Amino acid sequence: MGWFDKLTRPRREAPSDLWKKCPACNETLLIKDLAKNLYLCSKCDNHLRMPLWDRIALLTDDNSFVEINQDMRSIDPLNFVDSKPYPERLVEAIKKTDVNEAVATGRASLNGRKIFLGVMNFEFMGGSMGSVVGEKLTELIEAGAREKVPVLVVSASGGARMQEGIFSLMQMAKTSAAVKRLNEAAVPFISVMTDPTTGGVSASFASLGDVNIAEPGALVGFAGPRVIEQTIRQKLPEGFQRSKFLLEHGMLDCVVHRRVLKNTVARILRLLVA
């Protein structure tokens, strides 16, 4: 899509563009206020899902993020059609999000320290991992190992992208193997899990951080709560699979508030490596 299309695309004026309800306390929040407040609910401090570029701005020094592989695009290896052909879904997602895929990767600095950053975008087909997401993250992690630069990945994903079938599944093995090599190179891998991080993403690189961090209240787990409820036919307890639950069960190093996330990552990095 050229710059001209971007300029002339009609701006949506639907009310949902102006305000949002806090999923936790039901408070009505103005989007412009939310953006100023790091997408934290002004009433209950709930961490709402943060848009991609706000997240990148949150974690990087001003204008330091240089995206790589932004031209990488998914293809349709299975000719997959459910209620809609996969290529149509991709086009819609690109239109909706103005990015090419469900992860943005690049170089950046964080409090002056060079990092390689990957941020998943839940708005793009539920942050699902297909070949492009797997490839971008693998390249990022490999670059980290090669150049001895710490890797920070912020996850937000429902899991593997079904429309790419077995290729999506194999991204789990590919990214995890890359993390293993990063470990061997003794380069830090910091995984930040945000709401939600489940399925094939949670069951691969996202769980493999030297330090695993989650945001308060984030849903993190292997199976989605609905699948579990259907399988075991019972209601799940309050707080199940939320970050506090994961911390209590030993799956996380810490739960970190969004306001201090950047400084916490910086502190972890300077304490882990000189």
Partner 1 sequence: MPKDFEFEKSIIELEDRIRELQAISESGKVDLSREIKAISEKVDALKNEVYGNLEPWQITQVARHINRPSTLDLVKCLCGEEFVELHGDRLFGDDPAIVSGIGRIGDHRVMIIGHQKGHDTEENIYRNFGMPHPEGYRKALRMMKTAERFGLPIVTFIDTPGAFPGIGAEERGQSDAIARNLAEMSGIRVPILCFVTGEGGSGGALAIGVGDRVFMFEFSVYSVISAEGCAAILWNDPAKTKEAATALRLRATNLLDAGIIDDILPEPIGGAHRNHQMAADEIKKQIDKHLPTLIALKADKLLDERYKKFRGMGKFTREEELEHAQEQA
> Which of residues 2 and 10 has its CB atom nearest to partner 1 in the complex?
2
Q: How far, in whole angstroms, is CA 53 from its chain's centroid?
A: 12
Is 134 one of the binding residues for partner 1 (CB under 8 A)?
A: yes
Which residues face 104 on adjacent strands? 119
User: In 3D, which of 208, 192, 5, 180 has the Cα closest to residue 95?
Assistant: 5
Least distance in Å: CB of 233 to partner 1? 11
Position among 31, 38, 68, 177 found at the interface with partner 1 (CB under 8 A): 177
List the one residue from 118, 144, 188, 221 that touches partner 1 (CB under 8 A): 221
Terminal C-alpha separation, the chain: 43
C-alpha span between 218 and 47 (Å, rounded)? 8
Please report whether residue 109 would count as binding partner 1 according to CB under 8 A: no
In angstroms, rounded to a whole number, what is the distance separating the alpha carbons of residues 4 and 9? 9
Question: Is residue 196 close enough to count as binding partner 1 by CB under 8 A?
Answer: no
Residue 210: which residues within 8 A CB-CB, separation 6 or more? 183, 188, 189, 190, 272
Quick note: the x/- pattern for partner 1 over 233-262, rule CB under 8 A, is ---xx--xx-------xxx-----------
Q: Which is nearer to partner 1, 220 or 261 (CB)?
A: 220
**Geometric angle at alpha carbon 161, from 157 and 102, rounded to 5°:** 50
| # binding residues, partner 1 (CB under 8 A) | 64
Rg over CA atoms, the chain: 18
Are 196 and 202 contacting, i.e. CB atoms less than 8 angstroms apart?
no
Q: Which residues pair with 28 in a beta bridge?
A: 21
132 binds partner 1 (CB under 8 A): yes
Return the residues of window 12-31 that contact partner 1 according to CB under 8 A.
Answer: none
Candidate segments 44-52, 203-211, 253-261, 262-270, binder of partner 1 by CB under 8 A: 203-211
Contact positions vs partner 1 (CB under 8 A):
71-75, 77-78, 80-83, 100, 130-132, 134-135, 138, 160, 162-174, 176-181, 183-184, 199-200, 202-208, 220-223, 227-228, 231-232, 236-237, 240-241, 249-251
